[in-house]
Structures are given as C-alpha cells and as structure tokens.
Structure 1
Amino acid sequence: MSERIRIVGGGLTGILAAFEAHRLGWRDITIQERFEALGGVARPRVVHGQEMRDGCIYFGGAGDPIVETLSAHGATFEAFDNRFGSVSLGADERRVFTWDFGGPAVDCAATRISRPAGDSLADRIAAYPPAIAARLDAFCRWHLDTDLDLVQGEAAIPLAINRVFPAAADLTALAALKATDPWADELYAIPRGLSGRTANLSATLPVGGFSALFDTCHRALVQLGVKVELNALVSPRALLAAPQADETVVWAANPTPLFKPLGLARPDLLKKSFATYVFAVEFDGPCPVYVQNFTAQGAAFRVYLYESGGQTLAVAECVREADLAKLPGEMRTLMSGFGGLKVGALLHTDVKPRWIYHTLDAISGLKALRRELAGRFGTAFIPGAWEPYAKAAKLSEVNAALLAAREDAPALAPTAALAG
C-alpha cells in the first residue's frame, strides 16, 4: 500500500479526505490548494466581519456524518429550526406560497406517472402529468436557458425539482401511492406540515461562520501533521506523467484539466453563470430561512436569509444579472408569504459559473475519465466524487475509495504514455 497521499483541492471534499486518510493510517499527507486559504468555493468573502455568501449552504442535523467528522476535529456547530418554503404559480397564475417545502407546488390533481424514455432532464420531466410537466419545463428553461434534452436527469436535484407537490391531489391517495410505488415516491412529495414528517426539522451551521470553520480545519490538519500547501498550482500533466510509486493521489479539484493529458476529449459542459447579491435586511420572520422561486418570473431563483456579524443578511441568487432597481421588490414579494422584509444596502455582488448541472455528455465523459484513470493507476488515483450533488454522497464515495486504496497494492506506474 502507498505510504504517502496527496490531495489536490482544499475545499470541503479535500479537507474531509485528509481527515479520513489520517483515520485510515496515512501519516505522510499533503493537501494542495490553489487559493490562499482552505475552503474552495464554499469559503465566503468576509467584508467588515460579515460573510458574503453566494447561496444557501448548511449542514444536516444530528447524525450528519460531515458534522460528526468536523466536530471530532474541533469544529463547533449550532442547530437551528430548518425553515424553508417555495413560491409557485397556481392555475389562475397567482402566486402560491408553500411552507415547509422547497420544491414546486403545482395545482394539479393528476398523479399518474410513467417511466422516463431516457436519461435526460427532458425525459424526467415528461414522466409527469402534462400540467406538471409544463410548469417544470418553463421553470427549467428560465433557470438554465438551454436544451433540456442535453441535461442529465439528476440535475433535477440541484434545481430543486426532484420532487413535486401536486397540490390539488387527494393527500391520502398521494401518500398511499408514495408508499407503494418507489418511482412515485421519487417524483412526488407532500410538504412536511401536511405529511406529519419529523425528519429534517433541524439543521446546523458552523459557529462563527464558514471562514471560521475552514480556519479551524486548517489548524486541525496541521496538528495532525498534514502538510497544507496554499497558493499551490498543480500541473495535471506533470502529476499524471510521473506518478510516485508510493503515493496515492486524491483529485478533489475540478476534473476538466485531466482530460487532455489523458488523451480524452473534454465533454461539453453546461456553461451557465449566475449572479448573487447580498443585502443588509430586516425581517420579521424566522432566520435562517430560504425561499425557492418556481414561478419562472423575475431574476431570483432563491432568496436566503442568514445572520453574520450580528446582522441579518439576504442573498438573492439570480439566473441572470438583475435590475437593481427591481430586485429588492422582487425579494420582498418572494418573502411576503413568510414575513415582512425590508431591504437595505447592497453589500456585495458576484457573477460566476456554477458547475452543478451536468450534461449527458459530461456524465459520459466523467465515466470515461474514471475508466482511464483506473486502468492506468488502479486505486492509486482517487477521483473526487465529481458527479454527486449531495455533500454526504460525495463523502461516502471518497471514503470508500480511500479505504480501497489503503488496502490495495502499491501505486502502479502508468501503462501507457500520456497524450501530447
């Protein structure tokens, strides 16, 4: 088995991989991060002691494996009532506010579904009754502005449309359908307040914010003897061309630079940028809280309220750059079903791509990349759980690969020359 392990990428995946590698017995561990601090895309910018978050991010409640791992290394978390809601359009085109449900509510009584004809997001949407499918199609085209036949069906999860509430359906019949048909259970949901569910009632956030969390992780890694290299730019070509026989590599960074050195065509990615705006606000409802917009109107697809630096802040995540004269009013309208919002000063804005919506070509390309890496390096090169959206799924996948690498033979030399 390898004696050394190198983790490329110091985001949450890389940090958790380092902790797990140490638990499994590695002691020569290096984590390389291209930015000046650990945290990756989850590390917010701090302005005057306040975190300018790019979106809604938090951890699960009691038993969350990520919280348990980070807590074991000195991080502290505070629990809060997990509050959320959504805004959809009713049959009369008026806004419908749904509390305790973060997905779309469609004024539809029909619940009959079919199996998707393929793996695309368009195929998944077509499995619903026509009234529901039409609403989902309009929302996705507004949100993504792309051909839904090219998008992988699992993109429904980050789009928050993986489950739909057919608001006009008989709840008893819907509950029975979900209990007897796994596919119906996958596609439909009943809001927590109407179903009596007690799961997901609480969640956690790191005490002091995410910057403090990642700084705590940095200190804990150093105390374990992990070498943390910041501002470290790793050449994929050099790394793949000359692997060390006694080194295991975890690539927890963006995988796209790996394709060309391995002679693989880089897949077509969903090139979509989103704009975020952080405001100081006053709110007479609960906090933290988030509301999803499924009306396919306006610019904001989600508004998330949180506290930082002793003040309530709101981040509006937008499908495009917003008209700042209209955005505060749009935010007030989205939150109006849940509390009164007074929008104050704009504190921060950012526009950047998000690589959380996979195309079918990207999924196919990532599978080919995994096969090529496994063929050349066996378990000595661990991909960083690029496909899953959920944090827990990423952790589980990487941990399983680390265990396999720890139990396997020494790293293998490349079986073929790298592409020029």
Structure 2
Amino acid sequence: MSRVKIVGGGLTGILAAFQAHAMGAVDIELHERFDNLGGVALPDVRNGLEMREGCIYFGPGTDPIRALLETHGLEFQDFDNRFGSLSPGDVYIEDFGGPGFACADIALTAPVGPSLADRLDCYPAAMRDPLVRYAHWHLGCDLSTVHESAATPLAINRSYPVGADLETLAEAKRTNPLANELLAIPRHLWGHTNNLQASLPVGGFPTLLRGCRRALEAIGVTIHERDLVSPRQALAEHAGEVLVWAANPTPLFKAAGVPVPRLLPKSFATYTFEARWTGALPFYVQNFTAEGSCFRVYVYESGGKTLLTAECVAEDGGDELSWDIHRLLKGFEGDLTLGDLLAASIKPRWIYHTVDAIERLTQLRATLAERVGPAFVAGAWEPYAKGEKFVEMDAALSAALGVSKAKAAA
C-alpha cells in the first residue's frame, strides 16, 4: 500500500508522515482537529515568549527523532543536560531526576500484579512508604487502580537508596533485571554518561513545528487542519490505505465495539514567571517530598529572557508557591529572583494509565487487528517517552507498508 492516512497532528503524527514518505508512500494525508500542528509540543506564545508546560527535550545527534527531523532541514542546539531532585529530609540530588531515600537495604520483591501499588510494594519499607505518599499526593487516587507504567510520568520509575553501598548497588543493577528496573544511581556517582547532552530546536518549538509543516508540504503531504475525523468513517473507508491513529484513542472504543475504559482524570495547574537565574539553563527540579503544591520547576530561555514554569498538583498562585519554588532550587548552584507572573492555566493531562485502560487498549488493538489487519497502525498509545513511541510507531508502520527494517533505515 502506498496511501497513508494519519489522524492526529502532534509530534507522533508528524513523525509518522515523515517516516511514511521515507518508506515509499506517495499519497499521505495528515488530519489535525485543531488550528495548528504540534499537539502538546506546541506552547502558548505571549509577546514572543513560549509558555512551556513541561520539559520536552530531544537527544544529542544520535537521537533518531532528531536525526529524522534534521534530514528535513530542522535545526537543533545542544546543551549540557542538567537537572536535579528534592526528596524527604531535604535530600537534594544533582544530575538525578528521581527520588532518593535514606535506605541501605536494596532487597526487592517481585511484583504480584500490574498496578502502581504492586510496583511500589516491591521496595523495602524505607523507600516504599515515601513513594506511596508521593504518588497519593500527586494523583489523589487509589494506587491499585493505576497501572504501573504511571511510574514513568511520575518520575518514580527508579529510586536511589541513598545509604546503600555503591559497589553492591551497581553490581545488583548489572546482574538483576528487577534491581536495574527499580533502583538508580545518580550518574555523577558512577560515571554514567547517558543524558549528558540533550538538545532543543533552534528558535523554539513554534519555529520547529512551522518548519515541520513546510517540510511536510515540500514532500507532498496533504495537511488538513480543523478536521475532526470520525472513527467509524475512518475504519469503514480504510480499504486500500494504511490508517495511522496518532490521536487520542478514546473515540475508537465505541467505534470498535470495545467498552470504554475507566480513565484517570487529573488536572494540573501551571504557572510561568519571568525570572533571573544564575545557574544552568535549561534546568529542572522534581519535588518528591509530597509537601507544598509544586511537583516540578523548569527554568529555560525564550526570546532572550529567562522564564520559570512551576507545575503544581493544585491551584496555588500566591506566596506559598513562591516559597515552594525557592525551596526546590535552593539546594542547587544558582541564585533565583522571581519576576512577574506571565501565564497561568489549569489543564487535564491524560498521561497516567489505569489498569483498566491498559487492558482495554490491549483488547482494542486485538479487535482492530482482526478487523483491519496490519493496515491499522496504532499511535503508540501506551508509552510515555517520545523515543519509545517513535520506535513502536515506526515498527508498525514498516509492517503496514511492507517495508523491511533495513530498507526503512536506508
């Protein structure tokens, strides 16, 4: 098949269009329900400044997503990837974005189920209990209903036992898959070089996404904006074409006759300030203390100014938030002066899967595979990291178009 219809104009849909073209598709349509391409990667722009909600980075030159975009003329700028975390007991850890707890015990038990509660039960009590408190503070729900994959967007997929012997911990990570999955060592403590470099698009994300649009049009991709595609119609008309559903899969359940899963509705408040910061830029800090309202602070440059975004579990725009922000950054090199509030928003984020949602997504995939076959490409709905999404989508698109891995790579 050489016809490809892509539903969803976020980063996954954009990459699918570029890859479909590289795989030989000659008739590619990209459908986006809103006015612009980009999805969550497209920030609000006010007075020429990007109000970024969350930290979206690309990797160094070896990053396959960056490499693909660069082949179409998009440009990136490398930076030293600096970050840190604050855990209970005022434990500040540089170059580690996860939690650290005073614990010498690294004995783990195997998970007995698929929930986040099951995953956290694998840890010794000195790590498990503060992780449970943090997850409850962040999500505010029964953790047995949340899928264990939520550990990644919660940034608790790996935890550092601060009191453990480093040699013993490193050996456990090398030899025990469960220890490697659940435990961490900050990179500066064992010479780990992963993530030392990252990159951002030259000119910012709006420039990147405008460039993507121009590049897509240059290779013949037809872009339909403000176009809400009916799932029933798309599935009924798929004959002779590959259908890539890179949008939210929720509308597909009813169309496929699969029960709609119970979702986890969670909204977060985001505040962006003008700031002065003498430390590394960009820089972010995660808060695992389960205190205050702010779970992450992100400091970055946009339009020649330094901006600071605070992501909060609840609405909090006053003096307490300012105190929270300063508390998060005080353990790291740099002085902060917080300026005017530039933007505030409260939005839902559908990034934490329930156990029911993962089960229903599996059922949905099976139903669509039976009905449509490999001509239906799911938009990597379950993974959180964009790299994992790209690999999954790329493999499914290759199969749908009948392209070998070697040919696709060439």
Shorter chain as normaliser: what TM range? over 0.9
Runs (4+) of structure 1 exceeding 4 A deviation are none
Deviation of the 1:244 alpha carbon: 3.8
Question: Which residue type is aligned with residue 363 of structure 1?
Answer: I
Deviation of the 1:390 alpha carbon: 1.2
1:10 corresponds to 2:9: yes
Kept in 2: contact 1:80–1:204 (CA 8 A)? yes
Question: Which residue type is aligned with residue 261 of structure 1?
Answer: A
Distance (whole Å) between structure 2 residues aligned to residue 407 and residue 330 of structure 1 = 53
State how 1:33-52 maps to structure 2 within 5 Å: 33-52=32-51
- Structure 2 residues without counterparts, runs of 5 or longer: 404-410
Say which of 327, 332, 349 aligns to 1:333: 327
Of all paired residues, the percent bearing the same amino acid is 56
Number of the residue aligned with 1:165: 160
Distance (whole Å) between structure 1 residues aligned to residue 105 and residue 274 of structure 2 = 42
Number of the residue aligned with 1:320: 314
Would the alpha carbon gap of residues 405 and 321 (structure 1) be closer, same or farther in structure 2, given more than 3 Å must change? Answer: same
Distance (whole Å) between structure 1 residues aligned to residue 216 and residue 46 of structure 2 = 26
Deviation of the 1:267 alpha carbon: 0.2
RMSD of aligned Cα (Å)? 1.0
Say which of 241, 247, 256 aligns to 1:253: 247
1:232 corresponds to 2:227: yes
Distance (whole Å) between structure 1 residues aligned to residue 294 and residue 275 of structure 2 = 16
Deviations 1:366-409 (A, max 9, x none): 0011011111000111111000111111111111111111129x
Kept in 2: contact 1:278–1:314 (CA 8 A)? yes
Distance (whole Å) between structure 2 residues aligned to residue 209 and residue 312 of structure 1 = 13
Deviation of the 1:299 alpha carbon: 0.6
Distance (whole Å) between structure 1 residues aligned to residue 209 and residue 283 of structure 2 = 23
Number of the residue aligned with 1:304: 298
Number of the residue aligned with 2:408: none
Deviation of the 1:102 alpha carbon: 0.5
Distance (whole Å) between structure 2 residues aligned to residue 179 and residue 372 of structure 1 = 39
Number of the residue aligned with 2:258: 264
Number of the residue aligned with 1:71: 70
State how 1:6-405 maps to structure 2 within 5 Å: 6-90=5-89, 95-240=90-235, 242-338=236-332, 339-405=334-400
Distance (whole Å) between structure 2 residues aligned to residue 381 and residue 260 of structure 1 = 16
Kept in 2: contact 1:104–1:161 (CA 8 A)? yes
Deviations 1:162-195 (A, max 9, x none): 1111001111211122122111111111111111
Kept in 2: contact 1:209–1:308 (CA 8 A)? yes
TM-score normalised by the chain length of structure 1: 0.94
Distance (whole Å) between structure 2 residues aligned to residue 3 and residue 100 of structure 1 = 45
Distance (whole Å) between structure 1 residues aligned to residue 119 and residue 361 of structure 2 = 21
Question: Which residue type is aligned with residue 167 of structure 2?
Answer: T
Distance (whole Å) between structure 2 residues aligned to residue 381 and residue 280 of structure 1 = 45
Number of the residue aligned with 1:412: none
Kept in 2: contact 1:106–1:132 (CA 8 A)? yes
Deviation of the 1:212 alpha carbon: 0.5
TM-score normalised by the chain length of structure 2: 0.97
Question: Which residue type is aligned with residue 120 of structure 1?
Answer: S
Kept in 2: contact 1:250–1:384 (CA 8 A)? yes
Question: Which residue type is aligned with residue 41 of structure 1?
Answer: V
Distance (whole Å) between structure 2 residues aligned to residue 265 and residue 351 of structure 1 = 29
Question: Which residue type is aligned with residue 6 of structure 1?
Answer: K
Would the alpha carbon gap of residues 281 and 239 (structure 1) be closer, same or farther in structure 2, given more than 3 Å must change? Answer: same
Question: Which residue type is aligned with residue 231 of structure 1?
Answer: R
Distance (whole Å) between structure 1 residues aligned to residue 238 and residue 99 of structure 2 = 50
Distance (whole Å) between structure 2 residues aligned to residue 20 and residue 114 of structure 1 = 41
Kept in 2: contact 1:332–1:340 (CA 8 A)? no
Question: Which residue type is aligned with residue 378 of structure 1?
Answer: G
Deviation of the 1:57 alpha carbon: 1.1
Distance (whole Å) between structure 1 residues aligned to residue 391 and residue 167 of structure 2 = 35
Distance (whole Å) between structure 2 residues aligned to residue 222 and residue 62 of structure 1 = 25
Kept in 2: contact 1:11–1:38 (CA 8 A)? yes
Distance (whole Å) between structure 1 residues aligned to residue 135 and residue 48 of structure 2 = 36
Deviations 1:94-143 (A, max 9, x none): x1111011000101111111101111100110100011000100000000
Question: Which residue type is aligned with residue 16 of structure 2?
Answer: A
Number of the residue aligned with 1:418: none
Kept in 1: contact 2:2–2:24 (CA 8 A)? no
Deviations 1:269-320 (A, max 9, x none): 0111111110000011111000000000011100001100100001101111
Distance (whole Å) between structure 2 residues aligned to residue 198 and residue 179 of structure 1 = 16
Distance (whole Å) between structure 1 residues aligned to residue 316 and residue 111 of structure 2 = 35
Distance (whole Å) between structure 2 residues aligned to residue 192 and residue 3 of structure 1 = 45
Deviations 1:235-290 (A, max 9, x none): 112222x2242111100000000111222110000111111110000011111000
